Every structure is written in structure tokens, then in C-alpha cells.
């Protein structure tokens, strides 16, 4: 089934193997690369948030989108390692779990982790504002002032 999900193209496959095109450096590797500017790293983090929102907007969840499973080639984020992927429409819980894993993975990248997490999350929610019905709601319970709880 084709969704147009942000994943590398399959080059070859056979019994027990699959080969995909190079998708770029993982965000884990990129975050540690001293030759990449902070601006470049934050751009990749924003692209990761947008790509995750796009995946969720398709009704899909990655299953474990850690920084090591998101690759940046300087233009786009592509997801790899879908070992926890379930080929059914993803509900809010699976999407929320994806987002939580991505944020925790960003936070685990050392002293700059909070900046990475902020950029992933802000880009995700910017995309969420454009397509709110497709993405998870932080908490569906309304409080007295009418604002959702976080």
C-alpha cells in the first residue's frame, strides 16, 4: 500500500533482506557532529517534527521514532526501522506515543537536547494547527476556561 510516507526508496529486496537508498545521517549522529552548525541541527529537528506530523496526518504511526530512526539528508527527514509499525490506522494513543518517543529521544542528546525537543515539538504542533483532526490532542478533557489541559 502506498501512502507517500517520508521513507527511503526500496532499491532491492529478497528473502531475509531489504536494501534502501541512503537517507542521510541519523539525527543522533547529526546532533553529535561538530561540523554541523546549531542552526543546521535545529533545521533538521524542525523537519523531523513536520515529517512526524505528516506521517500521523496519513493515519500512520512509526512505532518508535527515536533520533536514530530519523535521517536527514539536508533537505528532508526520512524514517527508517519500522520494527514496531502496525499496518492499521493509527489512533491518538499510538500517535501520542510516537511524539513522546521523539521528544524523549531529543532530550537524551545531551545539553542541547531541550533545544532539539522544543524544535521537534513546535514544528509538529505548527503542522497540527494546519490539520488538527489528523493529529493527536494532548488531552481531550476541557478545563473550566475552555482550554485543553497539557
CA 108 to chain centre: 15
Question: What is the distance between the alpha carbons of residues 16 and 119, in angstroms, rounded to a whole number?
Answer: 37
| More confident site: 89 or 30 | 30
Q: What is the pLDDT of residues 98-111, one digit of tens each?
A: 999 999 999 999 99
**Mean pLDDT score, 40-52:** 96
Q: Is 63 a residue whose pLDDT tops 60?
A: yes
Residues facing 72 on adjacent strands: 25, 77
pLDDT at 2: 59
pLDDT at 93: 87
Amino acid at each position: 500500500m502506498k501512502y507517500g510516507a517520508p521513507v527511503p526508496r526500496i532499491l532491492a529486496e529478497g528473502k531475509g533482506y531489504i536494501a534502501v537508498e541512503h537517507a542521510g545521517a541519523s539525527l543522533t549522529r547529526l546532533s553529535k557532529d561538530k561540523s554541523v552548525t546549531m542552526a543546521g541541527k535545529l533545521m533538521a529537528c524542525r523537519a523531523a517534527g513536520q515529517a512526524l506530523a505528516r506521517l500521523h496526518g496519513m493515519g500512520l504511526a512509526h512505532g518508535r521514532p527515536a533520533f536514530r530512526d530519523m535521517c536527514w539528508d539536508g533537505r528532508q527527514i526520512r524514517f527508517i526501522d519500522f520494527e514496531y509499525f502496525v499496518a492499521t490506522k493509527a489512533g491518538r494513543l499510538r500517535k501520542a506515543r510516537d511524539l513522546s518517543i521523539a521528544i524523549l529521544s531529543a532530550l537524551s542528546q545531551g545539553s542541547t537536547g531541550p533545544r532539539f525537543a522544543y524544535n521537534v515539538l513546535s514544528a509538529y504542533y505548527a503542522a497540527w494547527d494546519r490539520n488538527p483532526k489528523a493529529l493527536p490532542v494532548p488531552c481531550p478533557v476541557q478545563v473550566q476556561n475552555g482550554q485543553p489541559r497539557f
